[in-house]
Amino acid sequence: MDQYCILGRIGEGAHGIVFKAKHVETGEIVALKKVALRRLEDGFPNQALREIKALQEMEDNQYVVQLKAVFPHGGGFVLAFEFMLSDLAEVVRHAQRPLAQAQVKSYLQMLLKGVAFCHANNIVHRDLKPANLLISASGQLKIADFGLARVFSPDGSRLYTHQVATR
């Protein structure tokens, strides 16, 4: 954590607080997500571990947010991600008028490519919604927040909890 200088708070979701920060040595701007470790004693992988595992199991893809580093911090973990300007919920909220059809198509295409990539890597996201779709300064969409993600087995031999989904 000493390697980073916190520049401000970006967001807060259900599972963690996200800060904008600068790597002191390289000057790189990142998003730091602090996640607490809970329910470890019952032996189930908790949300933080799920997120780390899902992201680490995937190779880099331009439609999935890049995890740059993970380190333990205060009984939990800090995940360092590439910094993104905004998320789709904010973009829609601050738009003066409804997004143009071409813009919607472009976001949808990037979303579908990202989802296809996750599925090709046997990861189901299970929490796709505008706040979890990050938008870069150049308008690129990337899927983020793998806190509810799971590895699935293509042969259907695993059992999954039902009703875990976001519309």
Binding-site residues from annotation for ATP: 33
107 binds ligand ADP (CB under 6 A): no
CA count, 13 A, side-chain hemisphere, 106? 11
User: Counting contacts by CB under 6 A, is residue 150 touching ligand ADP?
Assistant: no
User: Which residues are within 8 A (CB) of 139 and not within 5 positions of it... i.e. 6 or more apart?
Assistant: 106
Q: Which of residues 102-141 bind Mg ion (CB under 5 A)?
A: 132
> Does residue 65 touch ligand ADP according to CB under 6 A?
yes
Binding at 65: pick from Mg ion, ligand ADP, none (beta carbon under 5-8 Å per type)? ligand ADP
Please report whether residue 114 would count as binding ligand ADP according to CB under 6 A.
Answer: no
Q: For residues 32 and 79, is the Cβ–Cβ distance under 8 A?
A: yes
Q: Given the rule CB under 6 A, which of 70-78, 113-121, 139-147, 154-162 is the region that contacts ligand ADP?
A: 139-147
**Cβ of residue 82: shortest distance to ligand ADP, in angstroms?**
6
Q: Cβ of 117: how many Cβ atoms within 10 Å? A: 17
- For residue 101, what is the enclosing H or E element? helix 101-120
Alpha-carbon gap, residue 142 to 135, rounded angstroms: 6
Element (H, E) at 20: strand 16-23
- Annotated catalytic residue: which of 2, 42, 127, 155? 127
How many separate helices (H) and strands (E) can be counted in the chain? Answer: 3, 10
Query: To the nearest whole angstrom, how small is the minimum distance from the Cβ of residue 13 to Mg ion?
Result: 4
* Residues counted in the chain: 167
- Residue whose CB is less far from ligand ADP, 34 or 113: 34
State which residue, 88 or 154, has the beta carbon closest to ligand ADP. 88
155 is catalytic: no
16 binds ligand ADP (CB under 6 A): yes
Query: Does residue 4 touch ligand ADP according to CB under 6 A?
Result: no
In this structure, which amino acid lies at residue 132? N
The residues annotated with a catalytic role in the active site are 127
